Amino acid sequence: MSFWIDIKYAARLLLKKPLFALTSILIVAVGLGLTVYTYSMLNSLVFKPMTLNGDVPIYAIEAEYDHNHLSRRAADPFDLNRVKRDIDVIDDIGFYQDGTALFQDIEGKSGTVKFNASYVSWNVFEFSSTPPMLGRGFRESDQQKGAEPVVMLSYDIWRDYFDANEQVVNSLLTVEGEKMRVVGVMPQGYAFPMVAQAWLLLPPEFLAPVERSRLSAFGFMKLKPGVEFSEFERELDRVNPLIIQDIPEEFIWRLSDNGSYLRALDYKEASITQYYSIFIAMFIVVFLILILACINIGNLLLARVNERIKEVAIRVALGIPRTRLVWQMLWESIFICTIGGFFAILVAGWGLELTNMLFDNAFAVDQQKPFWWVLSLDSHAISALAMTVVVMIFITGLIPAWRALTGDFNAILRDGTRGAMGKKAAQASKALVVSEILLSCVVLVIATILLFTSYSAANADYGVDTENRITARLELPILAYPQASRDAPEEEQRKAGFKRSDFYYQLKEKMEALPNVEGVAFMSAFPGTGEGTSFFEIEGRAAQVYNENPYSNNEGVSRDSWHVVGMSILDGRSFDYRDSEPGVRSIIINESIAREFFPDGDAVGKRVRRASSRGTGDWNTIIGVVSDTFHGSAMRSSSASYNSYQVIDVFAPSRISIAVHYTGRQALAEKALRESIIAIDPRVAAFHVQTYDELIYQPMMLVTAVSKIFLLCGVVAVFLAASGIYAVASNGVTQRTQEIGVRRALGATDSMIMRLFMKQAAIQLIVGLAFGLGLSLWIIDSMTDTMVMNELSYYVGFIAMPTLIIAMVLFATFIPTRRVVLMEPSNALHHD
C-alpha cells in the first residue's frame, strides 16, 4: 500500500514539472540509446564471438599482422597443418583464401562477370554447420588431385544470375577459364568465411602439404568442447617458436619484422585488426557519454531533492524508515529511466537501421561487406539495456537518496532554511562538475579529432585530378594470361608479362580513339589508394640496417599515363619503350623523395633498390621525377607521401586499376569501357567501376562511418555537457545562495563574490581538463598505430574543445552566480 502511495506521489511530481520530466527522459533516451546502439554495433562487428550455427566460437589463425601495409597475412598451409597436428585442443580447422573468380558464358549474360570467391578447404560447410540449400557440399575427394573442378554458388548469385533455376546444380560453368561443375547453392545470407559469393576449392597441395611452399592461406578453427582459448594460446606460444626455428632461410620472409609468425585471435577481431583500437575508443566514448547522462540525471534529481529538502525533513521528522525514504527517491529515477529506456530502444533501432543502410551503400560497389555486418537489436542488446537501466536507476536515484539521508534535518526544520551547504554536499557538487568537465573533455576531444581527421582526409589533396575520371579494376583470367613462376627463366617471365600488358595497351589505344575519352591510364593502385610502404636503399648511401633506410610506396604504371590523372613529369623523362629492354630497370620517383634525398636536383641517373629483412632487390635507375601524390587514405598510418613508380610493360599484373578521363556523360564512359573490353577479350572482367572520388572515399568508408557516429557522440556530448555543466554549476551555486548572502552580509562586494566563484570554477576546470586531456591523449595515442591524425585536428581537439568547455563552465558559473549576487543579501540569507 505504502509503495503504491509512493509510486503515485512520484508520478504526480513528474507530471507537475513536465519540462523537467521531458528533459530527463530525453537525456536518458539519448544517452542510453547511443549506448545500446554502439553496444549492438560493436557486438555484431567485433565483440560477440562468431559461432555460426554451432555454439562454439570460431577463431582465426594466420600469420602476424603486417603493420607496414595494415593488412592481414596468410600463413604456409604446411605450418597451419603442423599447428593442427601438434595442438591437441583443436577440434576442427580449415583454410581459405579470399579472392575473385571470373564467370564466363552465363546464359543470357554477355561478357565476364567477377564474383567475390572464397577458395576454401573442402570441410568449410561442415565446419560452419551449414548444409547447402540445393545440391551437395564439398567432399574431400573433390580436393584430391585429378578430381573434377567444382564450384558452389551463393544464394544471391543463384537468384540474380541464374534466375533461381534449380537446374543449374550439376551444370558446367566456365570459371577462371576452366569448366567447373556446380555442386550446390548455399542458403541465403551465408557468405563464410567472409564475403563469398562463390566457393572454389583450394588446390590439392593445401590438403596435406608435406613440405614448405609459397602457398598461403588463412585458417579458421574451433576448439574442442570445454577448452578455453587461453589454453590454446598457451599451446600456440609453445609451438610457434618450434615452427619458427624450423623455417629455412628461403622462407624467412614468412616472419614479421619482429621475428614472430603465427597468431590466433577471435575471428571477427582478425577481420578488423586495423580498426580495433577505433572501435575500442568508440566504446569508451559512448560509455563516458552514458556516465555523463547518469551524472546529469542524478544531478537533476539532486536539484529536485534540494527543492524538496524541507518536505524530506518533515518526512524524517515523522519517522519515515530509511529504506522507504530511499525508495521514494528511487521511484522518480525508476520512472525516468524506464520510460527513457523504452525510447532508447527506438533511438537505437533507428540508428542501427540507418547504419545498415550506410553499410549497404558503402559496400555496394565492391560487395566486400563481411556477412556478419548486419546490425540488429538482439536479445543480448535488450538484456544489456535492461541491466543498464537498472544500474542507471541506482546511480541516478542514489545520488538524491544520499542527499536525502545525509541532510541536517534538524537545522532545516528549525530555521526553515537549508543552512549553509554542507561540506560533503559541497564536495559532491564540485566532484560532479569536475566529472562533467572530464567526461565532456574526453568525448569532445576524441570526437573532434576523428571528425576533423576524416573530413581532412576526404578533402585532402592527393595530387590528382579526379573530375570526369572513372576508375575500375580489371582482372585477366589466369588461364588465358598465365603467370610465369618466379623460378622460370626471365625470358619466359617477360613473355607472360608482355601478354598481359599487351591487353592493357590495346585497351588504352582503343579507348583513347573514342571521341569522349581524353586518356586512359593503368596503375597497380592510383593515388588515394594503394597504401603500404617498403624500405629503399640509395646507391652509396645504404643504412647499416635495412629498416633505417627511407621508405616509399611503389606502384606499377603504364606508359603515357600521368596526364590522365593530372600528374606531370617535373624532371627527367617518362617511361617509354627503352624501359622494357632486357636488363633495363627504370624507376620514377616523386617530388617529395627527390626534394628530401636529392636536394641538389641530381636524382635522375641515381640508383635505388628495395631493402627488407629478406635482402635487397635489383638496382633501379631513376629516370624521372613526377609530381607529388599521396597513396592510401590520408587517415591511415600505412599511407605514403613518398612514392615511386615502375612501368608495367614487362611485369604487368593480372589485376590492375584503370582510370578513364572522359568528356560528356559518365554512363557513356562506363559503357565505352565495358564494350572496349568485350571487343578485345570478353574473358576479361571489369569491376568496381566508380568515379575517382568514390575510389578515394572507399578506404575511408568505415572510419568515416565511425566518425559520423563520433559526430553524433560529439553533438550528444555537447548537449549533455552544456546542459549538465550548467545544471551542476547552477545547482551548486543555488545551494550556496545562503553562503553568498553571508559573504555579502560580511561585506563582500559583487565582484569579490564573482571572483570567488569563477576562481573555484577555474580550479575545477584545471583539474577536470588536466585529467580529461590526459585521458584523451592516451586514447588518441592508442589509435595512432593505425591512423594518421590530421595535425589541425589536434589543435581543434586539444585547444578549441577545452576552450569551448572553459567557456561553457565559466558561463554556467557566471550566470547563476550573477543571479544570486544580484539578490538582496537579506533574500539570499533567507533563500529557501
Cα(75)–Cα(64) distance, rounded to whole angstroms? 9
Looking at the Cβ atoms of 280 and 756, the one nearer to another protein is 756
Smallest gap, in angstroms, from Cβ of residue 417 to another protein? 7
Looking at the Cβ atoms of 179 and 414, the one nearer to another protein is 414
Tell me if 747 contacts another protein by CB under 8 A.
Answer: yes
- Please pick, from the candidates 745, 763, 766, 815, the single residue that binds another protein as defined by CB under 8 A: 745
Residue with cell string 590438403: 207
Smallest gap, in angstroms, from Cβ of residue 424 to another protein? 9
C-alpha distances (whole Å) from 175 to each of 134, 180, 248, 515, 686 are 20, 6, 36, 34, 15
Smallest gap, in angstroms, from Cβ of residue 829 to another protein? 7
Tell me if 413 contacts another protein by CB under 8 A.
Answer: no
Looking at the Cβ atoms of 129 and 749, the one nearer to another protein is 749
- Please pick, from the candidates 738, 776, 786, 817, the single residue that binds another protein as defined by CB under 8 A: 738
Smallest gap, in angstroms, from Cβ of residue 322 to another protein? 21
Of 109, 103, 84, 106, whose CA–CA distance to 95 is shortest? 84
Of 572, 573, 472, whose CA–CA distance to 526 is shortest? 472
C-alpha cell at 603: 636524382
Smallest gap, in angstroms, from Cβ of residue 301 to another protein? 23
Residues 403, 330: contact at Cβ < 8 Å? no
Looking at the Cβ atoms of 242 and 317, the one nearer to another protein is 317
Total of residues contacting another protein (CB under 8 A): 29
Looking at the Cβ atoms of 16 and 423, the one nearer to another protein is 423
Smallest gap, in angstroms, from Cβ of residue 828 to another protein? 9
> One symbol per residue from 750 to 779: x for binding another protein (CB under 8 A), - otherwise; what is it?
xxx---------------------------
Looking at the Cβ atoms of 403 and 500, the one nearer to another protein is 403
Tell me if 825 contacts another protein by CB under 8 A.
Answer: yes
| Cα-trace Rg, the chain | 33
Tell me if 149 contacts another protein by CB under 8 A.
Answer: no
Smallest gap, in angstroms, from Cβ of residue 309 to another protein? 15
C-alpha cell at 294: 547518469
CB count in 10 Å sphere of residue 671: 12
Tell me if 320 contacts another protein by CB under 8 A.
Answer: no
Of 577, 685, 562, whose CA–CA distance to 629 is shortest? 562
Tell me if 317 contacts another protein by CB under 8 A.
Answer: no
C-alpha cell at 11: 508520478
Is omega for the bond preceding 193 within 30 degrees of 0, making it cis?
Answer: yes
Looking at the Cβ atoms of 748 and 800, the one nearer to another protein is 748
- Please pick, from the candidates 48, 222, 473, 744, the single residue that binds another protein as defined by CB under 8 A: 744
Cα(827)–Cα(452) distance, rounded to whole angstroms? 49
C-alpha distances (whole Å) from 285 to each of 27, 709, 779, 807 are 16, 11, 10, 22
CB count in 10 Å sphere of residue 392: 27
Interface positions, 421-440, toward another protein (CB under 8 A):
421-423, 426
DSSP string over 563-624: GGGT--EEEE----GGGGSTT--EEEEEHHHHHHH-TTS--TT-EEEEEETTEE---EEEEE
Looking at the Cβ atoms of 213 and 749, the one nearer to another protein is 749
Interface stretch with another protein, choices 135-143, 270-278, 304-312, 418-426 (CB under 8 A)? 418-426
Tell me if 419 contacts another protein by CB under 8 A.
Answer: yes
Smallest gap, in angstroms, from Cβ of residue 747 to another protein? 2
Looking at the Cβ atoms of 195 and 432, the one nearer to another protein is 432
Sign of dihedral through CA atoms 764, 765, 770, 772?
A: positive
Of 131, 129, 101, 134, whose CA–CA distance to 115 is shortest? 101
Residues 73, 65: contact at Cβ < 8 Å? yes
Tell me if 310 contacts another protein by CB under 8 A.
Answer: no
Smallest gap, in angstroms, from Cβ of residue 303 to another protein? 20
Tell me if 742 contacts another protein by CB under 8 A.
Answer: yes
Smallest gap, in angstroms, from Cβ of residue 408 to another protein? 9
Positions touching another protein (CB under 8 A) are: 411, 414-415, 417, 419-423, 426, 738-739, 741-752, 824-827, 829
